[in-house]
Structure 1
Amino acid sequence: MDIVFLVLLLLIAVVGGNVLGKHFPRVPQPFFLIVLGLLFAFFPLYRGFQFSPDVFTFAIIAPLMYDESKNVSRYWVGRGIVNIFSLAIVLVLLTVLVVGTALHWLFPLFPLSLAFALCAVVTPTDASAVSAIAPESKEYRVPQTILQNESLFNDASGIVAFDVALTAYISGQFAFSTAMLDFGKEFLGGLLFGAILGLITAAIRQQLIRWGDNSPLVLVTIELITPFVLYYLADQIGVSGILAVVAAGLIQGGEREQLRLTSSRMQMLSANVWEIINGMLSSLVFVLLGISLPRVLTAIWHNQQIPWWELVLAGVLVYVLKFSLRLLWSRYFVWTHKPSKHRWSDSWLMALSGANGTITLALAFSLPMVVNGQPFALRGALIFTATVVILLSLLVPTFALPILLKAGPTQGESALKWSRHMRLTAIHQLEAETDHPSEAQIVLDALRQQFQWRQVPHRRQQRQLFKQADMAEEAQIAELLADQKISQREQDYYRRFLRYSRFTVDQRWWKNLVLRIWFSMHMGHAYHDVQTAQDTFMTSPIVMEQVYWQDKFAQLGKDIRVLENEGYQAAMAKLTMVQTAANRTANDVVKRYYHERHRRLAAEKPDPTIIYQLFLAAFHAEYELVQAELAAGRMTTDVANTLQEQIIFDEMSYIQNQSAFLA
């Protein structure tokens, strides 16, 4: 039970860190996750918490690398193969050898093999860790693309270099020629083994698709277990499990490109599942760092032979040397596909964007706890030093990259602006619909609600607008009574209807329960039938409201729809008159309430076919806008892709919830 509770708390921290990172984009998200982990470290349940290094590598690094390789662009990998070899293999090995030797020379507490292992840990770059910091810029599109492709392959080469260095430390023997031979064996052997099993897995999946067994349950499950099976088998035969996973992921990505529009539902569900898994695992690593830090710091504090400040200096040295090597290498040994007017700026961008993130931290945690039967005394020191490098690699770009790029609005901001314009276009087109006003109003309310979810209405404004609309409606009914067009009893009934109608539309669970009880009691009493009361209780209060009040007015020989139409027109006229730019959001919410009430009571039952056609017309208007603006050059392809994805998701949401628009 404690394990289940522990996992639940970890997931809560992951959610909290991601929410905070979204609302405070200037602070790197990993910082929030680390702080939440630190808070959890004070819980009795987490004291002395340890995560098995083998399980950590198997359960976290393997699926992360598989998903990353599966989503990489094969086109850009092909075009940038020279840069990938240069940055992800040659620069990684050079960094390990040069920085590791300097670290051992200046800080003898680190044996040479462990110094190499530490440098291998901090060579993998995490492009996503900087994406929230660095604004996107067309001017720097080429170096940013190179960074994304590099981050996959230097992860793999860094992991292999780490394994070789760690093996040398444990065995007590290190020879350069032997190390290079082991590196080649693990690197090439892992790629070959992963490619073979990846092809076999892809063939199995394709055959299942041909047989019609392409349900997401079957194919997505196969894809989920693939990285774990591959890693385990590769580890058993002595080659790099991580590179086997990378090779299989590349083949899986190629299979997805071949499928194109085949098994579309499976591909979409697979992408969604992996997005969630990737986000959770990436965040979980930083939460676990926060939980483990107090234990690591305590061990360092009690170890008088390794002062904490010396480890901080070691971390700073590693970061500065690694950064300097990366800057010079990016300037003189990276091919940028086309001439650049700001070659040094490109190099600074690539050096600053060499941030360390999930894979670095995961590798640090994968250090063994026991070496040759004895506790690994330097494990805490290595994790702490790696943490210093990670924090520096996140903090420095936070301040430097925005100054370097000096970009305008980001793609996210541009997409948000176009999204609003796109939806307003659909609304304006439907506002001209006169043949089916009731159905058009349903679709318009759904489209306007998309704005209201993002713009929370001011509660005080909303209450004032409801009060003003109520007063206008009451005044209209009082005028009808004064003109003797309705009776006193009709007015009393209508006032009761107004009170209960507002109560009904709120739809909170306790109000829903109260209304079910109230309507069932009254309908059971009116018809003297227990079955009627029971059926009423099981019916939605929104539906029963219409039945109940129509029945009440029918007992007077009147039709509530006549009065409701008068009140509706008066309330809408008042809301239109008092609408301002400041209260527009709240005004739209109140108007939507009156639209829904009027439709339920006064309008005929909506035709689902007409609603379907109007939604299609709205989506078509949005598609046409995107196509026109893209053709005119006023919208980028990336923004158009984002908007098209929004429309597709809106269409899917409507198809899956069609009945909700008929209530």
Structure 2
Amino acid sequence: MHATILVLTLLLCVAASAVILRVSRLPLPLTQIALGAAVTIPEHGIYVDLEPHLFLLLFVPPLLFADGWRMPKREFFQMRERILGLAFGLVLFTVVAVGSLLHWMVPGLPLAAAFALAAVLSPTDAVAVSAVAGRAGIPKRLMYVLEGEALMNDASGLTAFKFAVAAAMTGAFSLSAASLDFGFVAVGGLLFGIAMGWGMALFQKWLASWNQVQAQGIIVMTLLLPFATYLLAEEFGTSGILAAVAAGMTLNLKSDTDTSSVSGAETRIATTHMWRMMEYVLNGVIFVLMGMQLPDIIGEALTDSFYEGGLRDTSELLIYSVATWFALFVTRLIWVWGLLHVTHLVGRLRGTTTGPRQRPRKRLVVATALAGVRGAITLAGVLSVPLLLDNGSEFPQRSLMIFIAASVILISLIMAAVGLPWLLRGMTVDEDPEEQEEQAARIRACEAAVAAIANASRQDDPNHDEAASDPSPISAAASRLIQAYQSRITTLRVDEAAAEGLLERSAADRMLRLVGVRAEREEVMRLHREDEINDVVLNALLYEIDMRETALSTSSRKREH
């Protein structure tokens, strides 16, 4: 019964956060954390012990798989130097720099434990970055870098954390052995994920050649893929996190389903809706669970320090947390600044970057550093620190490590939520190439449709005279459709001088189309109320109308962002 109430409470908090978000200026992650904390405040409030390994298994693989699936592959490969530099180089730099500071600053914290804490603090949270940074209006190319970094640095950070904890447990550490193990874990995880994603793509292609294969079955297989990939990769000693990411990216890159079949279209539509719902629910549950943990972690530590040493000890805890977050921010700022110069120089040497060398925009560099938000991976990792060392003694400063990690999560979320909109306010960014790409693709698609319809009409009615006064049904239908497509092409083809008015005309066109679609729905509902059509006809028509309205609404939201 307790598990049932817990699940329902988590889902209720996720649903309530969507309502609260409409009247609150807080980002969604902070709203959900606050709701999670609220349900634990009463004396008989709901609470759950977060089991780190189970948490990683249930939530991380599907979310990272979906992020990898959605990540634009062209932009990922174009910006691979920056992404990998942040995901791997920055993690190592953070472990050394912040770990050394923590060892010097916190009394009784051994160097290996300090490195472990710095390692678990190094990964940024892909979910939190998207929720906080995306709302602040960060340029798309920078957002792709941040999301790509967050996808990859979980594995590097947690692997470094594992080695640091092992060194703290045994008191022994070998740099050469750790480097070899790290390479095996990272490269092995990527290769394992690529193999699993490629295999699933081939299996889906084979299934697409069959008839009457239900979309639901294919979706369930895809849903199970990240869990299977994660578990098998971990079983073979490689990174399950990197494997899940690589599987998602590979499946999206290599899937070659039959796009002309109805089942292929149904599968894509259903898969899109399923993953959107899964991501929203799982993301929300993660932050609600974090909110359930944080009051006890932070509150108990502050209370214990106050009773043991008074305000002095309590203030020291807060100073440790703020100093740790500031060290992470400065470390990230330095690395980002240097990385921009290095990648620009490499681009000039390769000939891919032209023009004079430009200094990085200071506000954008600071925003990139501030967008390094920590989240669920950090909390789950630090909670997995063992209670005892191999010799039976307590793990040094374990409670303090958990307190600092939990505090840094909150501070990073709050600072990003407050600082990013302020930093990016009024900043002009380069023109988004996706607008022009979308416009050109629409024109090319319409031209292809006109050619295909004309060719099909000639094949089905080869002897028909186009000048005849009584056209055949095929020719008449083809003429109407070609005229409609040509009208769309004329609308899409605008002069460069009129580009400023294109967005306004497009917005007006979408607005009028939405008015028409909603009028269609009202009329269909009226016919159903008056028993002129039955439920089957109603549902079929509503589905078609809803799909058109969803497409128009999605296009409108994309242009607003």
Task: Name the SS for the 2:373 alignment partner.
Answer: coil
Change over 3 Å in CA distance of 1:402–1:53 after alignment to 2: closer
Which residue matches 1:584?
Answer: none
User: 1:397 is aligned with what amino acid?
Assistant: A
| CA-based RMSD | 4.0
Which residue matches 1:247?
Answer: 246
Is the 8 Å Cα contact of residues 37 and 287 (structure 1) preserved in structure 2?
yes
Task: Name the SS for the 1:130 alignment partner.
Answer: helix
Change over 3 Å in CA distance of 1:88–1:409 after alignment to 2: closer
Change over 3 Å in CA distance of 1:276–1:207 after alignment to 2: same
Is the 8 Å Cα contact of residues 99 and 118 (structure 2) preserved in structure 1?
yes
Which residue matches 2:136?
Answer: 134
Change over 3 Å in CA distance of 1:228–1:205 after alignment to 2: same
Q: C-alpha offsets along residues 612-648 of structure 1, whole Å, 9 cap, x if unaligned?
A: xxxx9xx999978984789842378999799979979
Which residue matches 2:422?
Answer: 403
Is the 8 Å Cα contact of residues 124 and 155 (structure 1) preserved in structure 2?
yes
User: 1:327 is aligned with what amino acid?
Assistant: L
CA displacement at 1:351 relative to structure 2: 1.0
Determine if the alignment matches structure 1 residue 295 to structure 2 residue 292. no
Which residue matches 1:390?
Answer: 409
In structure 1, list runs of 5 or more residues that go unmatched.
411-615
CA displacement at 1:80 relative to structure 2: 0.8
CA displacement at 1:651 relative to structure 2: 6.7
Distance between the aligned counterparts of 2:519 and 2:240, measured in 1? Answer: 40
Determine if the alignment matches structure 1 residue 381 to structure 2 residue 381. no
Determine if the alignment matches structure 1 residue 88 to structure 2 residue 87. yes
Which residue matches 1:318?
Answer: 324
Is the 8 Å Cα contact of residues 65 and 152 (structure 1) preserved in structure 2?
yes
Change over 3 Å in CA distance of 1:392–1:226 after alignment to 2: same
User: 1:363 is aligned with what amino acid?
Assistant: G
CA displacement at 1:13 relative to structure 2: 0.9
Is the 8 Å Cα contact of residues 286 and 361 (structure 1) preserved in structure 2?
no
Which residue matches 2:8?
Answer: 8
Change over 3 Å in CA distance of 1:72–1:175 after alignment to 2: same
Which residue matches 1:32?
Answer: 31
Which residue matches 2:284?
Answer: 283
Instruction: Report how many residues are paired.
Output: 452
Is the 8 Å Cα contact of residues 110 and 396 (structure 2) preserved in structure 1?
no
Distance between the aligned counterparts of 2:279 and 2:521, measured in 1? Answer: 28
Question: How does 1:470-489 map onto structure 2 within 5 Å?
Answer: none
Distance between the aligned counterparts of 2:519 and 2:206, measured in 1? Answer: 31
Q: C-alpha offsets along residues 12-38 of structure 1, whole Å, 9 cap, x if unaligned?
A: 1111123222432x3222222122112
Change over 3 Å in CA distance of 1:68–1:638 after alignment to 2: farther
User: 2:287 is aligned with what amino acid?
Assistant: F
Is the 8 Å Cα contact of residues 630 and 640 (structure 1) preserved in structure 2?
no
CA displacement at 1:4 relative to structure 2: 0.8
Q: C-alpha offsets along residues 372-418 of structure 1, whole Å, 9 cap, x if unaligned?
A: 688868554333212221222222233332332223899xxxxxxxx
Is the 8 Å Cα contact of residues 364 and 383 (structure 1) preserved in structure 2?
yes
Q: C-alpha offsets along residues 187-219 of structure 1, whole Å, 9 cap, x if unaligned?
A: 111111222222222211221112235422111
Change over 3 Å in CA distance of 1:40–1:248 after alignment to 2: same
Determine if the alignment matches structure 1 residue 633 to structure 2 residue 499. yes
Question: How does 1:209-608 map onto structure 2 within 5 Å?
Answer: 209-212=208-211, 214-256=213-255, 263-297=264-298, 299-300=300-301, 301-302=303-304, 304=308, 307-334=313-340, 335=343, 340=358, 343-367=361-385, 378-407=397-426
In structure 2, list runs of 5 or more residues that go unmatched.
348-352, 430-480, 530-561
Distance between the aligned counterparts of 1:145 and 1:83, measured in 2? Answer: 10
Distance between the aligned counterparts of 1:294 and 1:386, measured in 2? Answer: 13
Is the 8 Å Cα contact of residues 6 and 46 (structure 2) preserved in structure 1?
no
Which residue matches 1:481?
Answer: none
Higher mean displacement: 61-70 or 248-257: 248-257
Higher mean displacement: 372-381 or 27-36: 372-381
Distance between the aligned counterparts of 1:277 and 1:173, measured in 2? Answer: 43
Is the 8 Å Cα contact of residues 134 and 143 (structure 2) preserved in structure 1?
no
Q: Which has the larger radius of gyration?
A: 1
Distance between the aligned counterparts of 2:113 and 2:492, measured in 1? Answer: 56
Which residue matches 1:69?
Answer: 68
Task: Give TM-score, length-normalised by structure 2.
Answer: 0.70
Q: C-alpha offsets along residues 457-479 of structure 1, whole Å, 9 cap, x if unaligned?
A: xxxxxxxxxxxxxxxxxxxxxxx
Which residue matches 1:552?
Answer: none
Is the 8 Å Cα contact of residues 144 and 350 (structure 1) preserved in structure 2?
no
User: 2:327 is aligned with what amino acid?
Assistant: L
Change over 3 Å in CA distance of 1:177–1:296 after alignment to 2: same
Is the 8 Å Cα contact of residues 208 and 257 (structure 2) preserved in structure 1?
no
User: 1:316 is aligned with what amino acid?
Assistant: V
Q: C-alpha offsets along residues 71-120 of structure 1, whole Å, 9 cap, x if unaligned?
A: 11110111111112211111111111211121112113333333222222
Q: Does 1 or 2 have the higher relative contact order (CA < 8 Å, sep 6+)?
A: 2
Is the 8 Å Cα contact of residues 88 and 150 (structure 1) preserved in structure 2?
yes
Change over 3 Å in CA distance of 1:266–1:374 after alignment to 2: farther
Is the 8 Å Cα contact of residues 52 and 384 (structure 2) preserved in structure 1?
yes
Task: Name the SS for the 1:634 alignment partner.
Answer: helix
Is the 8 Å Cα contact of residues 208 and 214 (structure 1) preserved in structure 2?
yes
CA displacement at 1:161 relative to structure 2: 2.2
